[in-house]
Structure 1
Amino acid sequence: MICSITHIISFFYHMRYAASVRVQYVVLLLTVFFTLPALARQKEPEYTETSIFLTVEGIGGTEVSAIVYHETGYLSITEVFNYLRIRNQLSKNSDVVSGSFISEQAIFSIDKTHNQILFKGKIIELQQQDLIATATDLFMKTELFGSMFGLDCKFSFRSLSVNMRTKLELPAIREMREETMHRNISRLKGQLKADTVIRRSYPLFQFGMADWSVIASQRSKGVSDTRLGLSLGAILAGGEANVSLNYNNYAQQQRAITHDSSNNIKPFDRRQQYYRWRYVNNDHRGLRQITAGKIFVQSTASIYDPVVGVQITNTPSTYRRSFGSYTLSNFTEPGWAVELYVNNELVDYKKADASGFFSFEVPLVYGNSLVKLRFYGPWGEERFREENISIPFNFLPHREFEYTASAGVVEDSTNSRFGRISLNYGATRRLTVGGGVEYLSSVASGKSMPFINASMRLGAKLLLAGDYTYGVRARGIMTYRLPSNLQFEMNYSRYKKGQKAINYNYLEERKLIISKSFTGRNMAVFSRVTLNQIILPETKYTTAEWLISGALLGVGANLTTYAILTEQADPYVYSNLSLSFRLPDQILITPQVQYEYNNSKVIAARCELGKYLFRYAYMNISYEKNFKSNFTNVGVGVRFDFSFSQIGLSAWRTNEENLLIQSARGGLIFDGGTGSVSMNNRVSVGTGGIAILAFLDLNGNDRRDKGEPKLEGLQIAVNGGRIFHNKRDTSIRILELEPYSNYIIDTKGSSFENIAWRIKRPTISVMIDPNRVKLVEVPVVVAGEVSGSVYLEGKGLGRIVLGIYREDNTLVARVLTETDGFFSFMDLAPGNYTAKIDTAQLLTLGMTASPSAIPFHISGNREGDVVDTLEFQLQKSK
């Protein structure tokens, strides 16, 4: 009985113990069941905050904050959208980014709390790991930028970079295009932005340039001659002063066109001497240019001798905006270089083909334009010459008035008196009218010649111009260019019978020009047909020309066919074929042949071989045979292009006569800024230059003071001229610049021996003075650096904005902390500063900073000062 009772008690005891254990297990399981999800929600996934390089097609690249989680990239939404100029705003808790995508109607909201995106009224549910929120920012998977917004991203885990492509017209792309358009418009108007602007100076006197040339010829039969040339350029009374003296002892030569037998050229003939003073001030609307000396006049009457006098005008000297083009073509010597200048500014450069043909598309600019050609030949007799030409169109902006008045004496046998006044007014945007009067005392048919003129644009491709000079001539010109680039030009002139102003007895002159250029993958061809008819009192004279010039697979070719038609004889037709190509070993061969169709035979042939012997020497051999006139010419020559001079030697044998030619030319440049004198092998007189010198601006006053040293390492980029580095004084010279023009100098690529040396204003605009090398001293400041960190609860905090202020509380810079809380800023001049965390951001984040501001000092010394002890502690606001 007692045992039974004992077993029963033991049974109930074990039952109660087991029940107690089961209850404890149940309680434990329930606790785990309810607490694990909470723990899971509280524990953020482990990820790495970093910076990656984002490249956007069509825009560029930048570094943005990112998160890498399991080799998946997340980008900062605000930084990406800010770079793309997409309007967005981050919420106070950094869990929502909202804004408008491109258009104001495309409202979006990216919400981490609800893991969804609201875009254009639609809600897109996201996965838990599509968004990651930090204390200061919200990050989104790179794939979602493409699927949600059309910003296709390709993330590279290895290089930590993202390439973004899109077909959308992003605001950033639109802004870049508009900025480019504004920049191009500013460039056309001469309104380029620069950090530093250096304007013209007007010294009383300063000597700057000199050019010289010597050409000597010795003939076995006949008279030998020597030609000497000396040109001097200076600034006198603030204006450009040029003098050119020329001597030629070959006094027997006659001018190609003379008025009378007394017009022989003397060894030191006054007509061959050139002198001119010109004062330019383009900022003065009433009077922009004054010229005295040998002046250039666009006269109606035939004037073959220089005019000595005075000219005034309110036409600016600078090249102005163009509204179209006019085809200008002509012939010079084969292989010559031809430069096109409009209002003394180089606008194009061509090399004549194997026959000497060249063609330019001359930009038509508003106002009177001085169009000039400069020719550079490869050999002795004539290395350099200039020609002034007239363009028949003259347009002015609406309601703008321009005038040019000239008066002087012609250096002919009678010292004829000359005067001309020309007035033009922009009646509308497409019509310019003008008039004036011209006077020449030697004109027997009428000394005074009043005239009127007009230029009109009909559409974008049709140009009309006409002028009438009383008692002399009426003429008109029309040019029309089709969209296919086929151009027509028609000229008609009718002369007053018995007029003596123009030195020929034409009654009418008619001309038709049809031209077109063809381009292909391996070819470029220009074709032109010209018909010219001259009506004389007793007969008429017609010429036709068909020109084809181009290049095909590296072979230059020119085929020109001429036809001469008169009433007294049968048509005479012949062709010139010229080729130019390279043989092995860089030998240039130029064969030419002339064929006469009337007798079906070759009447002349020529061939030239040329090769560079080494860098500065070029040699050529030529042979020419004229079968019609029994003329044979054989020659050999060599040219040396040294940095200080160009020297040429050549020997020719023509039938039984021998000819030796020696030539040399060069120039001197006097640099008043650095005190140096240098030699040049090109024309310098009439041009300008810049000497750039970097110095260490120890006191930060932007001026070079005593004891501030020159620096090496300056690198520049400039929109023109030739650049020369002088290692002796660390200066850089830019020569052969057009005077009165603005040039932009970019020094951003400079690299000095000390990283603390910085150029504060790297872009410089310089107005060029004529006949002068202008000294431009570039101050290099000693940049101080400040750095530090921002912490939140002992951990570095990224994307916090700090401001650096001067003593007067003006802002110097805004700095953004990196992902680990580090920040730094360079380019601080010596002085006292204060660093503060952006209060607006602190208010948005609900935080406070301790301390609120940290003052620091940058000391001035040659090596630069570094302050790296700044630390800010952030706390959550209570």
Structure 2
Amino acid sequence: MTGITIHIIPLLRHCGKAVCILLLAACALPMYAKDKEGDNDEDPKYDETSIMVILQGLGGAEIPAVVKDEIAYLSITDVFNFLKIRNMTSETLDSLSGFFITQDAGFLIDKKNNVIRFRDKVFNVKPDDLVKMETGLYLRTDYFTSVFNLDCQFSFRSLSVKVSSKVELPAIREMRQQLIYRNLNKLKGNIVADTTIGRSKKLFKFGMADWSVVSTQRLQSVNDTWLNLTMGGTFAGGEATVSLNYNNYARQQLKAIHPDSSIIRPFDQRQQYYRLRFVNNDRKWLRQVVAGKIFTPTISSLYAPVVGVQVTNAPTTYRRSYGTYTLSNFTDPGWTVELYINNALVDYTVADAAGFYTFQVPLVYGNSQIRLRFYGPWGEERFLEENINIPFNFLPAREFEYTASAGVAEDSVNSKLGRIQASYGITNTITVGAGVEYLSSIRKANTLPFVTTSIRLVANLLFSGEYTYGVRGRGILSYRSQNNWQAELSYSKFKKGQTAIIYNWLEERKAVISKPFTSKNFSVFNRFTVDQIILPGSHYTTTEWLVSGAVYRIGTSLSTYAIFMKDEDPFVYSNLALTFRVPGNILFTPQVQYDYNSQRFMAVRAEAGKYLFKNGYLNVSYEKNYRNNITNYGIGLRYDFSFAQIGFSLWRNNNLTTLVESARGSIIHDGNSGYSGAYHRSSVGSGGIVFVPFLDLNNNERFDKGEPRVEGLQLKYNGGRMMRNLKDTSICIMDMEPYAAYLFELESKGFESVSWQISKPTIRVTIEPNQLRRVDVPVSVMGEVAGTVRLREDTLLKEQSGIKICIYKSDSTLVKCILTESDGYFNYMGLPPGDYVIQPDPAQMKKLKMKPQQAAYDIHISAKREGDVIDDIQFILERR
């Protein structure tokens, strides 16, 4: 037993020595590895990370960096690339050269000698302040400030650096230039989009219809009814509009007292409207052909509708504005006034308590059709339309524009009308024109040649002139100051004995001065007008001083009129109307009319109204006219449903009681998009678009059977009114200008999955009149690829940042290149289903003198509703 013990003890001693040797070896290996790392320039005391570098006015970007003792060192190459500063790294990655903004400001950052040469100066750098890493040089943030005058404020808590500069950096200049170019392209109509959808080629299609009904019952008298149906669509490839009107007012009310009451039939042809218009804005010599009821401004007095043909090379689209023209007038109090330019609704307002309204109409190059629509608040009157002429007509330099019209007037003698007018832009500030007008019903000279001119004398001073042989000559001078003073002078001289214009004026002189005034407690519009008419053997002058606006939150409108006639005392009177809220959220509007000659009130009126249930409005009113001894009082209710506007009112006028019921709205139908709906405002003449987002499972950009619709599509656009359909996820945009090209930016941030992306996010669509255009939006299910890149150093693997990973399609087409983050991680989402190849960038590998163990990976992205993810890609790099 003892012998055995003697033999085991030496064996235990040998084993103990072996264990000690192994422990010593294990302790020595890390020190050996550390010494091997010391052979490289990389310092293990630095922690690699990424820092958000924020440049004021531009934004931010993730920049590779290292941090030591809460001091940041930024990758010089990445910072300069972010700031768009020219730089180039040497093959050994120990120096970097380039120029700062201008070519005479060259620089050299040299790690080998630890110096920075900038312009003619040399800056010595401490060895620890300029660090060489595997992907390039890193510089302490202080040197960006002291050498390049880039103020860098590093926050260790948020790992961000705020950069500012007193000089304009190339990145800022490039962004500003891109913004300028983008705005210029918008002004010129050069809209860049991923997808462009032009005009459709349909021959026949119904689109929209407006309708309205007004029925009036007089308890002690007869009743009358007015019906309107306006339809818009496509006929023979052109824009077709038909408006049918039925009104038995004349026959019911005037047959006992008016000899022509039987002539004015309820369905009178003069009250019907029909038009067929063909438009091609890309054809410079002939852009529009119109047949049916045409609108043409005439010098002669012609008030009947004209049935004929009109051709012009003027575009229908809204042109670039070079200023504004103040348009103001009166209608009934509380009426809604809509301003249309080329059938596009551009603005609307509600007349104040005195009926005054004003618009700033954009002055655009070329002829534009300016139209006003008036809607009564209760529907007790049908909407009226008024076409107006803006006196200033400018064309761009060296551009020619013409309009020719011919037709028959629906008057008692069926007058024949012919008119042709042509204009030419000599410069952008001078336009001249000429033409001739023929009207068969004019006695004596029925052919009227004329010339016109429009001149912009200075930036805010405009002149317009016209001379018509044998009829008149007139001129208008308009000036707007920088502080919004506006003055307009006009003078017209008529030839004595002319018969083209029905009134026998000899001269008209008019002056208008207007100015808005604003302060903390009021905002009012002031206008003073003087108008003098010279007649044979007589003359009269009218003046008006108007103040309209808000004073201490009280809507105020004060108008004073004066009429001066030869050998007569002046007649002066004023209208004052106020609008303010009283307790109960009731809108109260008192109004008085005062005669200064008799020093007594001519009339008083008061109205109180209150909104009910958001879309309803109830009002009561009282009116007393002392001159005619007429008393009116009544009550009305209006409610705006989504599909129609309904109104009821009851009025008592002395011994007459009147009931009025009204309704109006519009119907929209589009079989292609499957959209049908009703709206409480008019729609005919405008256009729209329906976006249908769907999940493009097979990635063929077509809406195939079985592919589901998706909700959450976000849009950015200008103009129109958007309605979302929660049932089928479609988005409808209405009230858009026909024939105009709209740019839509589609965003996928509202989708339920981040893998659902829109591959073509910008779309330009040309709007068709009276139509809804369907646009299918394919939503691609994008796959994601992710992985890591590590560098092998002997037996250690270290995460590698700044490595460029490139993804190619199976046909070697480059899809995307991305950089690894500070921990060597990379990922990219945006791969449609298919086969791809992913690999480190060979050019960068050669420059870094590295190579991957596996050169590339072949990956396949599957078509899945939730998206495919491949996240196990690993690249192991080795030094060559």
Above 0.5 in TM-score? yes
* Letter of the structure 2 residue corresponding to residue 798 of structure 1: S
Whole-angstrom distance in 1 between the partners of 2:381 and 2:77? 67
Distance 1:254 1:176, change over 3 A: farther
C-alpha offsets along residues 585-625 of structure 1, whole Å, 9 cap, x if unaligned?
43222222223333333333222222211122111222223
Corresponding position of 1:421: 420
Whole-angstrom distance in 2 between the partners of 1:329 and 1:742? 30
* Letter of the structure 1 residue corresponding to residue 566 of structure 2: E
Larger deviation, residues 820-829 vs 663-672: 820-829
Say if 2:713 and 2:747, in contact at 8 Å, map to a contact too: no
Whole-angstrom distance in 1 between the partners of 2:521 and 2:105? 49
* Letter of the structure 2 residue corresponding to residue 574 of structure 1: Y
Distance 1:162 1:620, change over 3 A: farther
* Letter of the structure 1 residue corresponding to residue 353 of structure 2: A
TM-score, length-normalised on structure 2?
Answer: 0.91
Task: Mark the runs of 5 or more structure 2 residues left unpaired by the alignment.
Answer: 1-33
Whole-angstrom distance in 2 between the partners of 1:610 and 1:235? 43
C-alpha offsets along residues 170-226 of structure 1, whole Å, 9 cap, x if unaligned?
222222222222222222222222111111102111111111111111223433211
* Letter of the structure 1 residue corresponding to residue 836 of structure 2: Y
Say if 1:288 and 1:314, in contact at 8 Å, map to a contact too: yes
Per-residue deviation at 1:863? 3.5
Q: Secondary structure at the match of 1:79?
A: helix
Say if 2:42 and 2:134, in contact at 8 Å, map to a contact too: no
Per-residue deviation at 1:144? 4.1
Per-residue deviation at 1:548? 2.0
Q: Secondary structure at the match of 2:176?
A: helix
Q: How many residues align?
A: 839
Distance 1:712 1:769, change over 3 A: same
- What is the 5 A alignment of 1:600-611? 600-611=599-610
* Letter of the structure 2 residue corresponding to residue 661 of structure 1: V
Say if 2:42 and 2:132, in contact at 8 Å, map to a contact too: no
Distance 1:263 1:575, change over 3 A: farther
Corresponding position of 2:862: 859
Whole-angstrom distance in 2 between the partners of 1:115 and 1:552? 72
Per-residue deviation at 1:261? 5.4
C-alpha offsets along residues 135-174 of structure 1, whole Å, 9 cap, x if unaligned?
1133334444444444333333333333334443222222
Whole-angstrom distance in 1 between the partners of 2:130 and 2:586? 68
Matching of residue 835 in structure 1 with residue 838 in structure 2: yes
Whole-angstrom distance in 2 between the partners of 1:728 and 1:368? 43
Q: Secondary structure at the match of 1:747?
A: strand
Matching of residue 211 in structure 1 with residue 214 in structure 2: no
Matching of residue 635 in structure 1 with residue 639 in structure 2: no
Per-residue deviation at 1:412? 0.8
Corresponding position of 2:704: 705
- What is the 5 A alignment of 1:85-164? 85-164=84-163
Per-residue deviation at 1:129? 4.5
Corresponding position of 1:168: 167
C-alpha offsets along residues 364-419 of structure 1, whole Å, 9 cap, x if unaligned?
21111211122333222236332211111111122211111111111111111111
Q: Secondary structure at the match of 1:557?
A: strand
Matching of residue 587 in structure 1 with residue 586 in structure 2: yes
- What is the 5 A alignment of 1:623-772? 623-772=622-771
* Letter of the structure 2 residue corresponding to residue 276 of structure 1: R
Whole-angstrom distance in 2 between the partners of 1:564 and 1:207? 53
Matching of residue 803 in structure 1 with residue 803 in structure 2: no
Say if 1:108 and 1:118, in contact at 8 Å, map to a contact too: yes
Corresponding position of 2:54: 55
Corresponding position of 1:551: 550
Per-residue deviation at 1:43? 7.8
Distance 1:147 1:42, change over 3 A: closer
Corresponding position of 1:822: 825
Per-residue deviation at 1:745? 1.8
Per-residue deviation at 1:710? 1.9
C-alpha offsets along residues 65-84 of structure 1, whole Å, 9 cap, x if unaligned?
23333233333333333222
Say if 1:294 and 1:306, in contact at 8 Å, map to a contact too: yes
Whole-angstrom distance in 1 between the partners of 2:194 and 2:402? 36
Corresponding position of 1:8: none
C-alpha offsets along residues 740-775 of structure 1, whole Å, 9 cap, x if unaligned?
111222221443333322111111111111111111
Distance 1:772 1:157, change over 3 A: same
Larger deviation, residues 364-373 vs 585-594: 585-594
Say if 1:202 and 1:239, in contact at 8 Å, map to a contact too: no
Whole-angstrom distance in 1 between the partners of 2:811 and 2:535? 85
* Letter of the structure 1 residue corresponding to residue 806 of structure 2: G
Per-residue deviation at 1:867? 2.7
Corresponding position of 1:6: none
Larger deviation, residues 825-834 vs 260-269: 260-269
Whole-angstrom distance in 1 between the partners of 2:300 and 2:252? 25
Corresponding position of 1:445: 444
Q: Secondary structure at the match of 1:428?
A: coil
- What is the 5 A alignment of 1:437-476? 437-476=436-475
Per-residue deviation at 1:499? 1.6
Q: Secondary structure at the match of 1:181?
A: helix
Corresponding position of 1:319: 318
Corresponding position of 2:29: none
Matching of residue 876 in structure 1 with residue 875 in structure 2: no
Say if 1:109 and 1:118, in contact at 8 Å, map to a contact too: yes
Corresponding position of 1:844: 847
Whole-angstrom distance in 2 between the partners of 1:178 and 1:149? 23
Larger deviation, residues 272-281 vs 523-532: 523-532
Larger deviation, residues 217-226 vs 90-99: 90-99
Per-residue deviation at 1:665? 0.9
Over the residues paired in the alignment, what is the CA RMSD in angstroms?
Answer: 2.5
Say if 1:589 and 1:607, in contact at 8 Å, map to a contact too: yes
Matching of residue 245 in structure 1 with residue 248 in structure 2: no
Q: Secondary structure at the match of 2:747?
A: coil
Distance 1:162 1:594, change over 3 A: farther
Matching of residue 79 in structure 1 with residue 82 in structure 2: no
C-alpha offsets along residues 635-673 of structure 1, whole Å, 9 cap, x if unaligned?
221111110111011122223322221111111111212
Corresponding position of 2:30: none
TM-score, length-normalised on structure 1?
Answer: 0.91
Whole-angstrom distance in 2 between the partners of 1:357 and 1:175? 48
Whole-angstrom distance in 1 between the partners of 2:647 and 2:753? 48
Distance 1:518 1:43, change over 3 A: same
* Letter of the structure 1 residue corresponding to residue 612 of structure 2: L
Say if 2:214 and 2:382, in contact at 8 Å, map to a contact too: no
Larger deviation, residues 807-816 vs 535-544: 807-816
